[in-house]
Amino acid sequence: MSRTVYVNGAYVPEEEAKVSVFDRGFLFADGIYEVTAVLDGKICEWEGHVARLERSLGEIGMKMPMSVSGLLEVHREMVKRNNLEEGAIYLQVTRGATDRDFLMPEGLEQTVILFTQAKKLTGEKTGLRVVSVPDIRWGRRDIKTVQLLAASLMKTEAKKQGKDDCWMVEEGFVTEGSSNNTYIITKEGKIITRNLTNSILPGITRKSVLRLVKELDMEIEERPFTIEEAQNAAEAFMTAATSFVTPVIEVDGVGLGGGTPGPVTKRLIEVYIEESRKASC
């Protein structure tokens, strides 16, 4: 079924949507994106995503394409026009179109695009098998740019190896998954996840999950961990806007917790979805 997409102020059938071949998003990956989950036709974690959008844009010298309330309206309109009950909304903002030049031009009209993907985000999760790969991405992974080639190559490599995702490793420590933040739970029940620096994206799901973990009185340590530590962990999981909390059951061929999702991860899956539904708008 054809979707309705949003392009620069207009809602159009996806087949009719057009952007310039000179768009800097296309020529230089000069753009920022955000992804929000939709549950029961409502947008999850709106405030977190819109705050990160503004920060990412600012880091590359771009401004917000419209007001926060205007953006929310467009998101809601996309849900309505696409009858989206459960799935994701992608928002892409590029610097705009101009003749090809490495020098960033000032005052271009930004390209603003939204599209939806209907998919089941809730339901039983069997767990992912991950493989480690060198992290070959650039040094500003804290900015959510549309420059996703390295992550895409690495995820494809993981699939070639018959696995579900990759865990990227830099200087001996896991940075993150192809499009998610990563966590291990030690045998003593402590949750370890990498601290926020330019090496990883500050996940919106990560922020909420850490808050919930604190509320549940679980211990957290924010620091880098190794693949070996992960292989010796009781449980592992990942978080992302469109997959919430997802168990990881194998790391480089070593099964965790007997190869099935562990109890803490299962609890976090439930609690996160419950909270996310409550806070959706």
Q: Which residues bind ligand PMP (CB under 6 A)?
A: 35, 176, 179-181, 201, 203-206, 239-241
Q: How far apart are the first and last CA of the chain?
A: 26
How far, in Å, are 67, 152, 208, 238, 254 from residue 179 at the CA level? 27, 9, 17, 9, 22
Query: Is 144 an annotated catalytic residue?
Result: yes
Minimum CB distance to ligand PMP smaller for 97 or for 163: 163
Q: Minimum Å distance from CB 219 to ligand PMP?
A: 22
Q: Minimum Å distance from CB 38 to ligand PMP?
A: 13
Q: Minimum Å distance from CB 243 to ligand PMP?
A: 8
Q: Which residue among the candidates 144, 155, 159, 160 is catalytic per the annotation?
A: 144
Minimum CB distance to ligand PMP smaller for 91 or for 97: 91
How far apart are alpha carbons 91 and 113 in whole angstroms? 6
Q: Minimum Å distance from CB 188 to ligand PMP?
A: 26
How far apart are alpha carbons 13 and 262 in whole angstroms? 43
How far apart are alpha carbons 224 and 267 in whole angstroms? 24
Minimum CB distance to ligand PMP smaller for 207 or for 267: 207
Closest among 228, 260, 273 to 129, alpha carbons compared: 260
3-state class (DSSP) for residue 25: helix
Minimum CB distance to ligand PMP smaller for 110 or for 205: 205
Q: Is residue 138 within 8 Å of 168, Cβ to Cβ?
A: no
Q: Do the strands 165-170 and 128-134 form a parallel or antiparallel pair, or are they unpaired?
A: parallel
* Single-letter amino acid code for the residue at 192: I
Minimum CB distance to ligand PMP smaller for 36 or for 82: 36
* Tokens of residue 125, six digits: 């999760």
Q: Is residue 163 within 8 Å of 129, Cβ to Cβ?
A: yes
Q: Minimum Å distance from CB 204 to ligand PMP?
A: 4
Closest among 160, 24, 167 to 92, alpha carbons compared: 24
Minimum CB distance to ligand PMP smaller for 4 or for 179: 179
How far, in Å, are 56, 215, 261, 281 from residue 94 at the CA level? 12, 38, 39, 26
Q: Minimum Å distance from CB 205 to ligand PMP?
A: 3
The residues that are catalytic are: 144
